[in-house]
Amino acid sequence: MSEAIVRLESINKWFGKLHVLRNVNLEIFPREVLVLIGPSGSGKSTLLRTINMLEEPTEGRVFFEGQELTDIHTNLNAARTRMGMVFQSFNLFPHRTVTGNITLALEKVLGLKGEEAQQRALEQLKHVGLADKAGAWPSQLSGGQQQRVAIARALAMHPVVMLFDEVTSALDPELVNEVLLVMQRLAAEGMTMVVVTHEMGFAREVGTRLIFMDQGVILEEGPPREVFANPRQERTKSFLSQIL
Partner 1 sequence: MTITAAPQAPPERGIRYFAAQQTPWSWVTLGIGILALVVLFAGTVAILNAYGWTQVCPPDAPQGTCAPTDPLTEGLLSPELGALAWAVIGIGAVAGLLALLRARIVPNKQAKEAAIAGAVIGIQAAVLAGVLLWFRSAGVELFARNFLNIRLLGDFFPRFVNGAKNTLILSFLGGGLGMILGLFLALFSMSKRPVVRAPARIYINFFRGTPLIWQLSFAGLGVVTAMKLDFFSGIDGPYRVAVAVLALNLAAYSAEVYRAGIQSLERGQMEAARSLGLSYLQAMRFVVVPQAIRRVIPPLTNEFVILIKDTSLVVVLGLAFSQKELLGVGREIYSSTFNATAWLGSAAGYLIITLPMIRLVTYLERKLRSGLTSVVG
- Contact set with partner 1 (CB under 8 A): 52, 54, 77-78, 80-81, 83-85, 87, 89, 91-95, 104-105, 108-110, 137-140, 150, 153-154, 157
Q: Give the amino acid at 240.
A: L
**Of residues 142 and 238, the one with the C-beta less far from partner 1:** 142
**Of residues 93 and 230, the one with the C-beta less far from partner 1:** 93
User: Among 222, 148, 219, 138, which Cα is nearest to 179's?
Assistant: 148
Q: In 3-state terms, what secondary structure has residue 58?
A: coil
Compute the least distance from the CB of residue 44 to partner 1, in Å. 17
Compute the least distance from the CB of residue 38 to partner 1, in Å. 21
**Of residues 94 and 135, the one with the C-beta less far from partner 1:** 94
Compute the least distance from the CB of residue 89 to partner 1, in Å. 5
**Of residues 14 and 240, the one with the C-beta less far from partner 1:** 14
User: Among 122, 240, 239, 128, which Cα is nearest to 180's?
Assistant: 128
Kind plus residue range of the DSSP H or E element containing 13 = strand 6-15
Going through 138-229 in order, the beta strands assigned E by DSSP cover: 161-165, 192-196, 209-214, 217-222
Partners of 34 in the β-ladder: 194, 209
Compute the least distance from the CB of residue 61 to partner 1, in Å. 20
